[in-house]
Each structure stands twice: as C-alpha cells, then as structure tokens.
A = this chain, B = another copy of it.
C-alpha cells in the first residue's frame, strides 16, 4: 500500500468515526454485536438524510411541471418479480463454496484476486452456483411455497405496475415522470464500505415516460440535470465524472446506461452514485405481457398508440447522504476558533451546503453564569427554532462550542454577550468565511431568511 493510500484510508475511517461520535450514523443493533452491515441514522444523520430526500423530491416534483410522486409498498406480488426477471438468471451472483469449511464467496471477487482455493482455510472450491439476491419472506398464516414473497429489490417496479393507475387518476401527458423514494433490499454477499453498499438501502428513482424516438434527447437532458443537482449541492467538480457503461456490460433491458461516479477516499476510489438508463419499452411491455393488461399510451395530439420508452434516473438516498458527508469533510490546522488553547490542533469542519446542514444555527450565550445573558439567549433560541433547526449550547468555552458546531457543519453560530444586553445585537459567525458580524436582534429573522 502506498503512503497516499494509507493516509486516505485513514480519512475514511475518520469520517466513519465522526459519524458515530456526533450522531450521524451508528452501526445497527450495536449493543447486540451489530447486524448484517445495517446502519441506523442518528439525530444529525436523520436530518441530513431527510434534507437529501426533500431536496431530491423538490427538484423532481416542484421544479418540473410534469413529474408526479408515488409511494408504493415494499411487499408486492411475487408475479411482479417473476415478470421482471428478478427471480431468474438476471438478478443473481455466482458463488463458489469451499468443500472443507463450506463458506461461500463471490466468483468474480475470487477471480479479481486470482484465488483458486478458499481464502479462509485454503480448501478446494466447488463449481460456481447462482445465488439469488432477492430477500424472501412469507405472507399469511401458513409458511409454505404459496405464501412466499420478496422484499422489493428496486423501487422502480412499483412505478411500472402503477403506470395505468397514474394515467387514469391524473392529467399527465407524455413526456412525464413518476418519482419515488423508498427502501429496497438485496441480499448482497459482500456489503461494505460503510453505508455505500448495504443489504437494506433507500432509493430515489424517477421513471420518465417518453415517445420512443425521443430517447436520446431525454437521456442527455436527464444526464446533465442529475449531474447539475450534485454540483449545485456542493460536490467538488474534480471528484465527479460520467462513466458510459460498455455495451457488453449493459443489463439485458438497457439500451444505454451512464453512471455518475464520485471519487471517494481510497481504497474506494471512483464509485457509482447514480445511474441514468434508457430502458426502452422493456418494462411496460413485459408487465403488459405477464399481467394481460394493456399498458400502451394513446397520444391525444398525434392520435398514436404506443408503449412509452423509459429514461430512468436511479440514485441512492444512503449513497447521496454518504457522498455529501465525505465531500463536506475538511481538516484545518488550527486558527478557526477564537480559543486560546493550542491553535495548531487539527480542526474538523463539515462544509455542507447550507440546504443540507442538519443544524442551521447554534445559539450560544458567551457565559453560562450570567442570568441576563442566558435568558436573552434562550429568548433568541425560541424565536429561531420555530423556523430553523437550531441548537442551544452553553457548555464549555466559546471556542470549544464553535469547534463542536464546525464539526457537524452548522453554517451559523450566534453568540450573545454583555454588549448584547445594552445594544440588542449579537455576533453571527459564518462557518465558511469565518467572518463575525454584529446583527440587531430585531433583524435576525430577516437576516437568516436571506442567508438560509
């Protein structure tokens, strides 16, 4: 491992550690020893992730005129997964089993590492077998074949099977989209890299229904729009790129696929954070065939009837949350806080876009033992917390408190001091410019309305 890798490796570890220490992300079931690469979002994490989801929803539903939302159930008829190909060859990993210790491994991973024997005990390996990624459950009183179903492996199937319902209940016309945020489950053999690949994950998918011959136009439109979304929310341009998926690697239903990749700290490197797919008419045709329901569209203007093609944008809410966390993480060597303590210590700042920051404002009394200062601070806190997620903190030196807020990415710290009592103003410190400004208490609401 090179020196660079070692350093960046520990960077990812530091982010994971901060995430736990400050309540962004906890390992699930931790007091019972953890479970299956699942994670829980803590008090700050749930706000960050909700901000990501709300911003995506706003972009899809509010910014566009022709996208509507949907929230379909996780449990669906198994016939859907039969039709979509998820229960057959299309959605399986090849596994090999060790003849000695019976552990199983992904064939492609062993090949990557040129291993011909069991990586654990060195035993001989069996022939590869397909292993389906769908997670099975039983619905109804009897646990038998007839009652098997699966936790959905992707949210988009819920959109396809509701295509006719949406057409019948709204006034949408092609081109139009259906957007959905929701959990999906895949029994990954090798989950890992923190919340990047987990067995339970949340998708943000939008299916855009179009005239077949307009596929290229809309594909390019959505490809650019999705990249712009990440850039507008502060992802560094040099860490983003498009990757065209090679023809031979396309899923059986895909006409074209482009991934948006982000460069994570090593050893992760470039990884997909979203996919834009031209799925052709595969999904609606397949469900029409299997369900016997006509899923074609009648175009009132051109009097044509056709099966719409689909351009899909498929992002992960957990991946997006992780990428915004990683992208925000910065280490500064001293000088950020006004503390008289050692100013050359490494200080962490999460430079979230303001829209993403979990806590928008911290309200701090300069001292906690002067009743008048504390009372005024609490009055300001009550005023602001109705509008913005606001922290009140009186514990420790003001420098330490600034540092605590920097570490969770709070854009504004507001300090109430002795002068505030006389002049009815406070100090507002900007996380990014580090500038401090006196603002009249009566003008605070308008001040933050403009800033946030």
A residues apposed to B, CB below 8 Å? 20-23, 26, 28-36, 38-47, 49-50, 57, 61-63, 65, 68-77, 79-80, 95, 104, 131, 135-143, 149, 151, 158, 161-162, 164-166, 168-171, 178, 180, 183, 185, 187, 189, 199-200, 287, 290-291, 293, 295, 381, 385-386, 389, 392-393, 395
Contact = CB atoms under 8 A, between A and B. Distances in A.
Contacts of A38: 73, 75-76
B34 A169 contact: no
16 contacts: A21-B168, A21-B169, A23-B165, A28-B75, A28-B77, A32-B77, A34-B77, A40-B162, A42-B70, A61-B389, A65-B381, A75-B200, A104-B142, A136-B143, A151-B151, A171-B395
A139 B171 contact: no
B31 A293 contact: yes
B165 A42 contact: yes
B33 A140 contact: no
A44 B30 CA distance: 38
Contacts of A95: 141
A370 B184 CA distance: 48
A290 B33 CA distance: 12
B137 A151 contact: yes
A73 B200 contact: yes
Contact of A49 (B71, B166, B185, B395): B71
A178 B26 CA distance: 15
Given A166-B42, A389-B61, A72 B28 contact: yes
A192 to B, nearest CB: 14
A169 B138 contact: no
A135 B149 CA distance: 11
Given A75-B200, A161-B32, A136 B135 contact: no
Most buried by B among A22, A75, A168: A75
Contact of A171 (B135, B183, B389, B393): B393
A36 to B, nearest CB: 5
A290 B32 CA distance: 8
Nearest to A57: B50
A72 B40 contact: yes
A51 to B, nearest CB: 12
A304 to B, nearest CB: 20
Contact of A140 (B40, B49, B187): B187
A71 B178 CA distance: 25
Given A26-B169, A44-B169, 10 more contacts: A20-B169, A26-B165, A28-B77, A35-B75, A43-B69, A50-B57, A62-B385, A65-B385, A74-B183, A151-B151
B29 A161 contact: yes
Nearest to A293: B31
A143 B169 CA distance: 42
Contact of A77 (B33, B72, B200): B33
Contacts of A29: 76-77, 79-80, 161
Nearest to A93: B141
Contacts of A389: 61-62
A63 B390 CA distance: 11
Most buried by B among A131, A135, A395: A135
A136 B135 CA distance: 10
Contacts of A23: 68, 165-166, 169-170
A374 to B, nearest CB: 14
B392 A65 contact: yes
A450 B43 CA distance: 32
Given A183-B183, A199-B139, A45 B32 contact: no
Given A36-B149, A137-B136, A142-B104, A42 B162 contact: yes
Contact of A69 (B47, B77, B104, B131): B47
A57 B47 CA distance: 10
